[in-house]
Amino acid sequence: MKYCSNCGQSVQLSDIEGDTHQRYYCKSCDTIHYQNPNMVVGCLPVYQDKILLCKRAIEPRTGFWNLPAGYLENGETAEEGALREVWEEACAKVRIINVHSLYSIARINQIYLFFLAELPVPDFGIGEESLEVQLFTEAEIPWEDIAFTSSSHALKCYFEDRRQGKQGVHRGVFQWKE
């Protein structure tokens, strides 16, 4: 960050009294600029014994399958954002059942929140950000072609819960290999 979004003057990375992190600070208008993680919200849509997945039409990972999800917008609840993403990517209306998983990727400042959701009828289509939308049984899921570890984590936890006859809330953290 070079310039203040409040007044347009230069900012500098500074120690802020009472804060544990350095922040961009504008001396001209006394504004502290906080930079916080992005929240990604989505659903794990279930119809009978199948999961609804979308093949991505946008980068990153174009052509790979994913749970319908995207960035939470200002002014939305997490649930509203997740429902919007399912509509935008799969032209589907789902009913949220519960929180399913929380997945953190600290290195890229992202937090993923997936809701378990019921797809009441197999009524869906291809949204603007999708190349294809399809229902998959566990055996049919293209595991090698899942776009992101957050979706793989949510899917694996769902199927493990189903085998055990329970419904849990799961946490995961992506650890970078260097």
Domains and CATH numbers, the chain: 1-35 (2.20.70.10), 38-173 (3.90.79.10)
pLDDT of residue 128: 95
pLDDT of residue 93: 98
pLDDT of residue 163: 97
pLDDT of residue 141: 98
pLDDT of residue 176: 77
pLDDT of residue 13: 96
- Inter-CA distances, 61 with 1, 58, 72, 147, Å: 27, 7, 19, 6
pTM as predicted: 0.90
Cβ contacts of residue 142 below 8 Å, gap of 6+? Answer: 65, 136
pLDDT of residue 175: 83
What are the residue ranges in the chain where pLDDT is below 70?
A: 178
Phi, psi for 142 (deg, rounded to 5): -80, 75
pLDDT of residue 177: 74
CA distance linking residue 133 with residue 66, whole number of Å: 10
109: phi > 0 → left, psi -120 to 50 → alpha, else beta; which?
left
